[in-house]
């Protein structure tokens, strides 16, 4: 153990003339042939460090990493399932760490996707949309869900009463008097009064809704903040505290930040989608461990641990990122859409990888392939919906 092998680098400060007989870190006795201390792993060298030593080690480690990277890429692309078999069987020196490799690919994908923003045109298309929406709200009824339910019930009552009353079709003035006597437009008047109060005396209005409790209180505050952000161009919660005397508490901050984020998402939908999708690679690290549970259950009779299945998931997800990165690069250069083709390639690869790693026949593999991909799709849709909802309130 610790003997120098013929293919090990022995230049620089690792030359035999710089070897010591005691570890400078822990004092462990060493043989002159020991390149590293078997007790603490520090390099066995008594040479004073110079800048050249740092450069030599940097390029040596870089070449070593590149060889691992190329070997990992080769196994992933050419030999489906082989890399996972080798890794869990102990052949790990030739390959990069699966978790670190997946993290590096996710980070690279994030950079390329952010740079290659294809949603910028959506922002241009929605320029001024928020102002138009605000104008439309001013012209229309600003009703809460409870008000909408009341309107529906009152409308049904009106229709039933109109059915029982015979009114001459030519007597329009009498019809208007009848509708006015029913007070169906009280909600419109109420909405206008509420908007006027928010505009004229926002402190008083906020105090009135601050006395209520529950989610209706939060939604009422969000409505208030939405209107005031549009009217007064509020930038942060400090502006709200100073201008309207609102307390610094979690509920008010939640309502303000949610309103502000939703308005930004409406004004810049392209940037919102780009920011949301760019988070997906990092969500993968929370998603894959959950999905791996289903793989473990499906192959429970196989002599594999949960960690073995997780490594299998990491390797396959790494290949998916590689293909998606290639797709982004090709689309950026040739202005095309190649993601569908690369996803098809990944689907074929995944089937072959499952057959190779788990060693089952075509029929069983196809059945489990369909089942696991269905579970994957449902989980992915669920995660994306949560991510979109969370991003809308935190953008």
Give residues with Cβ within 8 angstroms of 330, minimum separation 6: 336, 338
pLDDT in tens, 342-390: 999 999 999 999 999 999 999 999 999 999 999 999 988 888 788 777 7
Q: How confident is the model at residue 253 (pLDDT cuts 50, 70, 90)?
A: confident
Checking if the pLDDT of 293 tops 90, the result is yes
CA atoms within 13 A on the CB side of 264: 18
CA atoms within 13 A on the CB side of 195: 18
More confident residue, 48 or 296: 296
Q: How confident is the model at residue 169 (pLDDT cuts 50, 70, 90)?
A: very low
Q: How confident is the model at residue 153 (pLDDT cuts 50, 70, 90)?
A: low
Own/partner pairs, 23-30, CB within 8 angstroms, 24+ separation? 30/2
More confident residue, 239 or 125: 239
Distance, CA of 82 to CA of 319 (rounded, Å): 13
Q: How confident is the model at residue 284 (pLDDT cuts 50, 70, 90)?
A: confident
**Highest-pLDDT range among 17-31, 113-127, 186-200:** 17-31
The distance in angstroms from the start CA to the end CA of the chain is: 55
Q: How confident is the model at residue 326 (pLDDT cuts 50, 70, 90)?
A: very high
Distance, CA of 28 to CA of 141 (rounded, Å): 82
Measured over the CA atoms of residue 12, residue 16, residue 20 and residue 26, the dihedral's sign is: positive
Q: At what angle are helices 280-298 and 98-115 packed, to 10 degrees?
A: 140
pTM of the model: 0.61
Average pLDDT across the chain, whole number = 76
Q: At what angle are helices 186-200 and 215-232 packed, to 10 degrees?
A: 60
The size of the chain, in residues, is: 395
Which has the minimum average pLDDT: 94-108, 118-132, 199-213, 226-240? 118-132
Torsion of CA 299, 302, 305, 309, to 10 degrees: -40
Distance, CA of 316 to CA of 291 (rounded, Å): 13
């Amino acid at each position: 153990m610790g003997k120098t092998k013929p293919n090990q680098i022995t230049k620089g400060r690792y030359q035999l003339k710089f070897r010591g007989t005691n570890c400078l870190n822990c004092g462990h006795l060493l043989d002159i042939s020991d390149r590293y201390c078997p007790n603490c792993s520090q390099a066995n060298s008594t040479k004073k460090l110079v800048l050249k030593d740092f450069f030599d080690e940097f390029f040596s480690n870089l070449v070593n990493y590149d060889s691992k990277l190329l070997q990992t890429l080769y196994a992933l692309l050419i030999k489906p399932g082989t890399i996972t078999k080798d890794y869990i069987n102990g052949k790990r020196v030739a390959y990069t760490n699966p978790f670190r490799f997946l993290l590096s690919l996710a980070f690279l994908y994030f950079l390329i996707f952010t740079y290659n923003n294809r949603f910028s045109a959506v922002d241009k298309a929605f320029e001024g949309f928020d102002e138009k929406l605000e104008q439309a709200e001013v012209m229309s009824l600003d009703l809460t869900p409870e008000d909408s339910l009341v309107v529906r019930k009152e409308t049904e009552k009106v229709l039933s009463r109109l059915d029982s009353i015979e009114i001459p079709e030519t007597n329009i003035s009498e019809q208007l008097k009848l509708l006015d006597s029913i007070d169906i437009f009280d909600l419109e008047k109420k909405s206008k009064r509420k908007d006027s109060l928010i505009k004229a005396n926002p402190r008083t209005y906020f105090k009135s809704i601050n006395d209520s409790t529950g989610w209706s209180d939060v939604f009422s505050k969000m409505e208030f903040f939405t209107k005031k952000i549009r009217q007064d161009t509020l930038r942060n919660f400090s502006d709200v505290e100073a201008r309207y005397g609102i307390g610094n508490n979690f509920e008010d901050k939640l309502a303000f930040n949610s309103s502000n984020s939703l308005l930004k998402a409406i004004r810049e939908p392209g940037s919102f989608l780009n920011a949301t999708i760019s988070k997906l690679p990092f969500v993968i690290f929370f998603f894959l461990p959950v999905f791996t549970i289903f793989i473990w259950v499906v192959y429970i009779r196989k002599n594999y641990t949960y960690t073995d299945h997780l490594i299998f998931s990491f390797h396959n997800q790494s290949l998916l990122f590689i293909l998606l990165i290639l797709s982004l690069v090709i689309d950026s250069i040739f202005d095309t859409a190649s993601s569908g083709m690369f996803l098809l390639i990944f689907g074929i690869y995944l089937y072959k990888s499952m057959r190779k790693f788990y060693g089952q026949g075509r029929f069983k593999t196809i059945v489990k392939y369909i089942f696991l991909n269905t579970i994957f799709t449902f989980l992915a849709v669920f995660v994306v919906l949560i991510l979109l909802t969370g991003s809308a309130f935190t953008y």
